[in-house]
Structure 1
Amino acid sequence: MQKKENSWFSDEWFWKTYGPIMFDDQRLKNSVYEVERIMELCGIKKNDNVLDCCCGLGRHSLELAQKGCRVSGLDLSQGYLDLAKAEAEKRSLKVDFIHKDARTIDYENQFDAIINMFTSFGYFDDPDEDLELLRKLHRALKPGASLFMEMMGKEILARDFEERTWFEREGIKIMLEYSVDLNWTELCNRWLFYKDDVMTEYSFSHRIFSASEMAAMLWKAGFSTIEIFGSFEKDLYDHNAKNLILIAHKDAD
C-alpha cells in the first residue's frame, strides 16, 4: 500500500509523524556546541535579541535561551513549533515561538543577531524571493548586527554526492534519494518512509548555492561584510570544508 504526498512543506501530518525522526540524538547534541560557536563568532551576549529564522524543532532557539538570550523562533510548521514549545516548557525556558512564513516578516532594527541553520534557505518557488528574504533579514537587524547562515554548499554537495542512502529509526525504514537538476541549481529530494506495510513518499526540490553565489546575494541584500568559513571552527571554505557558513554583517551606521 502506498500513500504519496507532494505538499510536504506545509503538511502538518508529515512534520508531526516523520519530522522528529529526521533529527538523530547526535544532531540534537551538536546544537549545544554550535550555539556556543555562533555566539562567539557573532558576538552574541546574554539578553541579546536573537531571531532563529526557520527554527524547526527549535534546537538552536532553546540553547540560545539557555544561554540567557531573548529568542524568537519562527517557522512555517505548527507541528514543529508545538514540539519546540513543549521542550521549552519542559526545560523552563522562555522562547517566543512564532508560526509565520518567513517571507512575511516585517521587523526593523530589532535583532542583535539572526540565525538560519541546517540549509533552511532556497525553498521558495520564486528564486527572487530568496533575495527578498535576505533584504528583510538585513532590515530586521540592528545596525552593526550579524546574520549567521549554515548550509550544505554546492561545492560540498558535489564532492560528497550520493544518489541514495537509507537508515532505520524508531521502527521506520527511511530511504533518501537525490538528483541534481537545472544545471546544478536545484537538488531534487525523494523521501520514502516504510512502516507497517505502508509507504509514504515525499518529493521536493530546493535551490543550492555556492559560496560565491551566496556572498553575491548577501551583498545585493545590503550587507557590508561577508565572512565565509568551512566549519564552526572557522576553517577555510576549501576542499575539506564540512559546512558552508556565512556571517553577514550590517553596517553600524
Structure 2
Amino acid sequence: MAWFETWFNTSYYHILYKDRDFAEAEHFISLLVKDLALKKNAHIIDLACGKGRHSLFLNSLGYSVLGLDLSEESILHNKAFEKSERPSLKFGVHDMRNPIQGAPVDAVFNLFTSFGYFDDPNDDRKVFESVSDILKEKGIFVLDFLNEKFVKNTLFPESITVKENIEFHISKRIENQHVIKDIRFTDKGEDFHFFEKVKLHTAAEIKELAEQCGFEHVKIYGDYHLAAFEQESSPRCINVFKKQS
C-alpha cells in the first residue's frame, strides 16, 4: 500500500495534526469564496476532505458540499454529519485519481497540500482529468499547494512534538525533488514509523499540467490571506483554474 493509504487511515495521523489552525483555515475559505464570487447555492466538491471540518464550514456558508477522501476511517467519522434535514452535505470514499460519479459541479477545492503524493506523473494528470470531467463548463478548480521554493529555503530537519502523551520525533529532508517527513514514536510499548512524501511541484509545472488538461489559469495566491504570490518567499502556491469551454 502507498504511504498515504496507511498513514492517513491511522488514529495517530489525526492525533499529530489535531492542533491545526482551523480558525485560519476558515478565514482563508471565507476570503476565497468571496474572491471567487461563488453563488450561494453552488455545488462544491471538497476533494481530500479528511475529517470534514472544511466541508462542514463550506456547507455552513450555504454551499452544497460533497466531501471525498481516500481514508475510510475519516469518511466513517464524517458520515455522522450527514442529516436527513441537511441533504446539501454528503461524504464518500474516493481515490482522487479516479473519475468522480455524479452531476457536474460548480467548483472543486483541493486544499491544504492534498496533492503531490504520487510517484507516477500520470497519476497527477489523472487528478486534473477527474476534476475536469466533474466540473461544469467554466467551473473552478482551486489547488492549494506548498511553494517548493519556500520549502527549500525554510526546511527544519529535526523536531519533537508531544500530543496526547505521545512523543513524535519528526525528521525532514529533500530527496529527488520530494520533501520527505519521517515520523517515529512509541505508544503502549510499540515502536512506530510512518512517513509522508510530497513531490515539490513548481508553480510553473502545476500551471503547465493544468493547461494540458483543459484548464485556464485564472490567478495565484501566495498565502491564506490571498496575498500575491512571490516565488522566493510565499509559503503557499494557491492556484485558481477555470475549465475551458
- When normalised by structure 2's length, the TM-score is 0.89
Hey, what does 1:196 align to over in structure 2? 188
Q: Give distance in 1, aligned partners of 2:201 and 2:160.
A: 25
Unaligned stretches of 5+ in structure 2?
Answer: none
Structure 1 residues 144 and 7: CA distance shift in structure 2, 3 A: closer
Hey, what does 2:6 align to over in structure 1? 11
Hey, what does 2:209 align to over in structure 1? 217
Q: Give distance in 2, aligned partners of 1:112 and 1:94.
A: 14
Q: Which moved further from structure 2: 17-26 or 210-219?
A: 17-26
Partner residue of 2:225 out of 230, 233, 236: 233
Q: Which moved further from structure 2: 25-34 or 236-245?
A: 25-34
Amino acid at match of 1:23: Y
Structure 1 residues 104 and 7: CA distance shift in structure 2, 3 A: closer
Hey, what does 1:136 align to over in structure 2? 130
SS of residue matched to 2:74:
helix
Amino acid at match of 2:106: D
Q: Give distance in 2, aligned partners of 1:156 and 1:126.
A: 24
2:241 is the counterpart of 1:248: yes
2:105 is the counterpart of 1:111: yes
Structure 1 residues 64 and 111: CA distance shift in structure 2, 3 A: same
Partner residue of 1:48 out of 42, 46, 50: 42
Task: Encode CA deviations 1:71-90: one digit per residue, 9 max, x unaligned.
Answer: 1111110111122233556x
Percent sequence identity is 24
SS of residue matched to 1:51:
strand
Hey, what does 1:157 align to over in structure 2? 151
Task: Encode CA deviations 1:79-123: one digit per residue, 9 max, x unaligned.
Answer: 11122233556xx78521111111122458711110001111111
Shift of 1:162: 1.2
Asked if the contact 1:109/1:143 (under 8 Å) is kept, the reply is: no
CA RMSD of aligned residues (A): 2.3
- When normalised by structure 1's length, the TM-score is 0.86
SS of residue matched to 2:44:
strand
Q: Give distance in 1, aligned partners of 2:159 and 2:92.
A: 33
Hey, what does 1:79 align to over in structure 2? 73
Runs (4+) of structure 1 exceeding 4 A deviation are none
Q: Give distance in 2, aligned partners of 1:7 and 1:106.
A: 21
Partner residue of 1:177 out of 157, 161, 171: 171
Q: Which moved further from structure 2: 165-174 or 186-195?
A: 186-195
Q: Which moved further from structure 2: 173-182 or 49-58?
A: 173-182
Task: Encode CA deviations 1:215-237: one digit per residue, 9 max, x unaligned.
Answer: 11111111123311101333122
Asked if the contact 1:52/1:61 (under 8 Å) is kept, the reply is: yes
